[in-house]
């Protein structure tokens, strides 16, 4: 099958087209012919080797972390799906590789595609929708009337998280550039802070939850907008010991992650708030929770651009250079 892969970490020009054997289909797997896959910042981090200490992939590695397509084969133990089903999924972290013609995915990680979406629209959702769910519903347990700040509201995660938070009944603030203020308000943001003209840490106060997608200085400033007992949940900040335990990391790696996040956790504790790092997980069940909201139009995908599959390298470069104006970049099979 045709794929886009890397053969070594850290080579920004190392993503190349290549042939790989068709996937082996396990007893609980569905084999999906991929119609579309989306590009995520995670793909760039994996290419650059940022997670190689905790996600020891065997090279060459096919990149790509979410998909929409059609089931073409099912394993003998599969009960949820049949050949011909249109599905979408974020494969488990150990079984990525959606920049390819085919992929075998465990049935527990797959869901029937929202009926009203195109393949390209559906492919844009799994990773960012699951991330939003796991931050806001699982980790934050966001309640009606609570206040949440979602950074980078026009980004892939932000566009979905704003809509989900509104469905949960929250008061939503977000940060965005001048050109995207109207978009994030259309998606449901009650307060939109133009980061080019305003500073969110002086505009906002008394928030219950911050979803941090940027890390660094933004993460540090986010601690200031939380009320006592508030939570900042980061996708881009330093990993913590809880993440290390989830990975089953050894004692040395757990200690290293604790050290990386020590300063942030200490500052959070000083303000009587909590910091945690989230690396999202695959979940077909959670996608099935989200699908009715998507089919009802209460959560809609936002697409920036669709590239043909043969231009996957260009799609990655487009995301890396920050050229996407809003939402997700998708590659589609021709």
Q: Comparing C-alpha atoms, which of 49, 20, 14 is closest to residue 34?
A: 20
Checking if the pLDDT of 241 tops 90, the result is no
pTM assigned to the model: 0.96
* Model confidence pLDDT, tens digit, residues 138-149: 999 999 999 999
* Model confidence pLDDT, tens digit, residues 245-265: 887 778 888 888 889 899 999
Q: Which of the four pLDDT bands, split at 50, 70 and 90, describes residue 314? A: very high
* Model confidence pLDDT, tens digit, residues 121-131: 999 999 999 99
Residue 224 CB: number of other CB atoms within 10 A? 16
Domains and CATH numbers, the chain: 2-125+301-332 (3.90.180.10), 127-277 (3.40.50.720)
Alpha carbons 46 and 64: distance in angstroms, whole number: 10
Looking at residue 17, its pLDDT comes to 96
């Amino acid at each position: 099958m045709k794929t886009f892969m890397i053969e070594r970490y850290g080579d920004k020009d190392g993503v190349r087209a290549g042939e790989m054997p068709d996937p082996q289909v396990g007893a609980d797997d569905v084999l999906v012919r991929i119609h579309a896959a989306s590009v995520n910042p995670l793909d760039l981090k994996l290419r650059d080797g940022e997670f190689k200490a905790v996600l020891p992939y065997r090279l060459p590695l096919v990149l790509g972390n979410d998909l929409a397509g059609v089931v073409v084969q099912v394993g003998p133990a599969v009960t949820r799906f049949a050949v011909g089903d249109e599905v979408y999924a974020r494969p488990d972290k150990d079984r990525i590789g959606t920049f390819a013609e085919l992929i075998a995915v465990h049935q527990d990680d797959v869901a029937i595609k929202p009926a009203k979406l195109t393949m390209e629209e559906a492919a844009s959702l799994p990773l960012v929708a699951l991330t939003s769910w796991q931050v806001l519903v699982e980790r934050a347990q966001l309640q009606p009337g609570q206040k949440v700040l979602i950074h980078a509201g026009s980004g892939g995660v932000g566009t979905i998280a704003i809509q989900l938070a509104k469905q949960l009944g929250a008061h939503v603030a977000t940060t965005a550039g001048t050109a995207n203020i109207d978009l994030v308000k259309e998606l449901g943001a009650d307060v939109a802070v133009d980061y080019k003209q305003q500073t969110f840490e002086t505009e906002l106060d008394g928030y219950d939850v911050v979803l941090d997608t940027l890390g660094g200085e933004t993460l540090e400033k986010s601690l200031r907008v939380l009320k006592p007992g508030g939570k900042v949940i980061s996708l881009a900040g330093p990993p913590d010991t809880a993440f290390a335990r989830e990975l089953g990391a050894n004692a040395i790696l757990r200690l290293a992650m604790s050290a990386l996040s020590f300063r942030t956790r200490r500052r959070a504790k000083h303000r009587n708030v909590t910091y945690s790092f989230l690396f999202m997980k695959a979940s077909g069940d959670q996608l099935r929770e989200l699908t009715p909201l998507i089919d009802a139009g209460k959560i809609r995908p936002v697409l920036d651009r669709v590239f043909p599959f043969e231009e996957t390298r260009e799609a990655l470069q487009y995301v890396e250079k920050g050229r996407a104006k809003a939402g997700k970049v998708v590659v589609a099979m021709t």
